[in-house]
Amino acid sequence: MLIIKDLKASINNKEILKGINLKVNAGEVHAIMGPNGSGKSTLASVLTGREYVEVTHGKVSYFGEDLLEMIPEDRARKGIFLSFQYPIEIPGVSMVNFMKTALNEHRKFNGLAPLSASDFLKVMRDKKNLVEIDSNLTNRAVNEGFSGGEKKKNEIFQMALLEPKLAILDETDSGLDIDALRIVANGVNKLRTKENATIVITHYQRLLDHIVPDFVHVLMDGRIVKSGTKELAYQLEEKGYDWIKKEVYPELNGNEVL
Amino acid sequence: MSETTNIYSSLYQQSIEKYGASDPGFISKLREDALNLLTKNGFPGKKDEQYKYSFLEPYFSNGYNRYLAPKPISFDVNHLFRCDVPALDTQVIILLNGFYFDKANPLKTLAGGIIVGSFKEAVKKHPDLVEKYLGKCANSTDSYVALNTALAHDGIFLYVPKGKLLEKPIQIINVLLSDEDLMVQHRNLFILEENSQAKVIVCDHTLSPVKFLTNSVNEIFVGENACFDYFKVQNEHNESVQVSHSFINQEKASNCRSTTITLHGGVVRNNLTVKLNGEGCENYAYGLFVSDENQKVDNALFIDHAKPNCHSSQLFKAILDDSSSGAFTGKILVERDAQKTLAYQRNSSILMTDNAKMNSKPQLEIYADDVKCSHGATVGQLDEEALFYLRSRGITESEARLMLMYAFAFEILNEIKIEPLKDRMSELIEKRLRGELSRCNNCEMHCS
């Protein structure tokens, strides 16, 4: 589905990603872990097409197409979804209008007729139950005045509506209490199929108890320095990142130079 | 005396010859004083602080035709005009080129002794009432106001007696229709006595592709505990120039809301002057304009807190595209006696292009020591983060921009308390933002 080859990217001429290689197949869940500033969110930004990140080298192919050539809205319509680390508040735009517009743009792209208002509300009701989102949240403006947990639930709700092929969850667990975390994780799990894939970006192993990954990658200083199974996540939780640093850069002798 | 003021001095002489004998003495006096003020001060120059961003004298010296009485024009109101807000249940009155249109019924008395109709007729029929109020509120030294006082002969008169409630909103349609370039001046006088209530909706329409210049004055008296809601939509074509003045005087515990939405118009200058002249008044003022091409829209406010415990709030927003420019000046004066004043002011603008320009100047002048006041101004672009958020869900960039602009405008639209009007305005704004003509569909009047 997704093949990233030797991807390098900079922000304001500072190189953040220094050669990423990653292959994601349908049906898989990949976790990307790593310390602050290692480039996790930048990777998500490159995949969704943020303009401030400049790709300097490498290729990303998505279902055989050059992903980097696509504008953000086309990526979304072709099935890429980002659950934002910090969902944006948009006063004055109602959730209903926002999601109806988005869903109908997806349908148009796939050659389907737009949903009528009543059909849309029906779809929305079904998906709301799926992710256990409070029904009055959808009557409000996009994320306006939502609590941290509500915002994250709202991301998963949007994901449920748009049914992406590749979902990227950027620190979806940050700031969530255990109940909200469980709801969010349940939502994600219910949406998993053999046809879609998920990339979970996180700091903590906690989320991975609920969304069990097939692969865990450690991102450090702009490179994936270690890959493994979910066991790797437990090791990281237990020992932190330093031991990997020593393993990967033995010449540093554990000193912070990165 | 400048050349421009000369034009009006000679027009004034004609006016005296024509109406001097029939005008009541107090009117003649007001007119004479106003003309003297105008000839003494002249029109505001380029360096005038009040009109820094609107140098209008050239328009006033231009070759517009000026009339002291309505020119006979065939105008079939039923054929030409159907208000396109069908659910809007209002009493419609029409000003044609600044003169009261319905000559058969120049002044109507409604249930409860409410009087509505032609200003000119009211001067004849109710001189005492007019004398008590006229010019008491619009007492500024502004030359455009003086010009209006000296030479405006007609307009709308509304009188709501003590304790009475105007059931249906009055809807004033300002129709401009002419085969030659035309200058129009009208004078509206709204009087709400103690405990009364009224709503007024004003729509501007230009029906001919000629140049129009309008200089209008509203005087609004809101009596003790009275309630007044004023809504104006400016939808003239882009060859027109409009200067409008609204003066509001509020007595104790009264409540007044005013909303001005500017959709089209070449050059628009709106002055709003509010005096909170009794304890416990509330005043809310809202404004929104959407401009493109070379439009110029300038809103100037002056809110005078003269008495304690009053609350005022002003929210003005703008979306400027192409090479349009805008200005906002908002001054809140809190006088020494006006303790416990609450006054809030905000002006936010979005510039869509590098060529669009906005000047914003909020001002506070406070002489009391126990007040809560705040003001702020922002000029910026659409939020890139929000734009990306919408696009990342598959919404096209142009649609996403539109949604954000609409959301920005919605804060003002949401303050329109007459539901059908709010819905209609929302539609018009959306069309306007899409770059379509936002004239009313069912109406034969081709406003834009």
Q: Classify residue B391: in a domain, yes or no.
A: no
Q: Which of A142, A143, A155 to mutate to test the interface with B (most CBs of B within 10 A)?
A: A142
Residues of B in contact with A102 (CB under 8 A): 390, 393-395
User: Is the Cβ pair A93, B388 closer than 8 Å?
Assistant: no
Q: Do A93 and B389 touch (CB under 8 A)?
A: no
pLDDT range class, residue A252, cuts 50, 70, 90: low
Assigned domain for A96 exists: yes
Whether A97 and B403 lie within 8 Å, measured CB to CB: yes
Q: Is residue B435 part of a domain?
A: no
Identify which of B177, B152, B153, B158 has the alpha carbon closest to the alpha carbon of residue B91: B158
The answer to whether residue A257 sits within a structural domain is no
Residue B441 CB coordination number (10 Å): 10
- Residue B215 reports pLDDT greater than 80: yes
User: How high is the mean pLDDT of chain B?
Assistant: 91
The residue with greater pLDDT, B87 or A48, is A48
| Per-residue confidence band for B85, with pLDDT thresholds at 50, 70 and 90 | low
The pLDDT tens digits for A161-175 are 999 999 999 998 887
Given a cut of 90, whether residue A216 has pLDDT beyond it is yes
Which structural domain range is residue A147 located in? 28-45+71-252
Give a yes or no: residue B187 inside a domain: yes
Average pLDDT over residues B338-347: 96
Residue B284 lies in a domain: yes
* B 389-418 → A contacts, CB under 8 A: 389-397, 399, 403-404, 406-411
How many domains does chain B fold into?
1
Mean pLDDT of B192-208: 93
Q: For residue A8, tell me if it sits in a domain.
A: no
Average pLDDT over residues B133-149: 92
Q: What is the ipTM score, two decimals?
A: 0.93
- The A residues from 98 to 117 touching B (CB cutoff 8 Å) are 98-99, 101-102, 105-106, 109
Q: At what angle do helices A148-162 and A178-191 cross, to 10 degrees?
A: 10
- As a whole number, mean pLDDT of residues A67-93 equals 94
Which residues are within 8 A (CB) of B175 and not within 5 positions of it... i.e. 6 or more apart? B75, B81, B94, B95, B96, B97, B101, B205, B207, B445
Is there a domain that residue A3 lies in? no
Q: What pLDDT score was predicted for residue B114?
A: 96
CA distances from B445 to B177, B231, B448 (A): 10, 20, 9
Structural domain harbouring B133: 3-379
**Residue B409 falls inside a structural domain:** no
pLDDT of the residue at B442: 45
Q: What is the mean pLDDT of residues A89-111?
A: 92
pLDDT range class, residue B303, cuts 50, 70, 90? very high
Residue range B170-184: average pLDDT?
92
With tokens 């992710």, the residue in question is A131
Bridge-based pairing of strands A53-62 and A2-11 is: antiparallel
A206 has a chain B CB within 8 A of its CB = no
With beta carbons under 8 A apart, name residues in chain A contacting B403: 90, 93, 97-98, 101
CATH number at residue A219: 3.40.50.300
Q: Looking at the predicted structure, is the pLDDT value of residue B447 above 70?
A: no
pLDDT at B152: 93
The pLDDT of residue A249 is above 80: no
Measured between CB atoms, does A162 come within 8 Å of chain B?
Answer: yes
Distance CA B129, CA B153 (A): 17
Position B408 in a domain: no
Q: In this model, does residue B444 exceed pLDDT 50?
A: no
> Distance, in angstroms, between B151 CA and closest chain A CA?
45
> Is residue B49 situated within a structural domain?
yes
**B45 located within any domain:** yes
Confidence band, pLDDT 50/70/90 cuts, at residue B438: low
- Give the model's confidence band at B435: pLDDT under 50 very low, under 70 low, under 90 confident, else very high: confident
Can you give the pLDDT at residue A26? 95
Q: Is A22 contained in some domain?
A: no
Residues of A in contact with B408 (CB under 8 A): 92
pLDDT at B91 over 90: no
Q: Is the pLDDT of residue A256 over 70?
A: no
Answer whether A82 sits within 8 Å of B396, measured CB to CB: no
Identify whether A78 is part of a domain: yes
Candidate from A40-49, B66-75, B92-101 with smallest mean pLDDT: B66-75
Q: State the pLDDT at residue A258.
A: 46
Contact pairs from chain A to chain B, CB under 8 Å: 75
Q: How confident is the model at residue B127 (pLDDT cuts 50, 70, 90)?
A: very high
A97:B396 CB<8 A: no
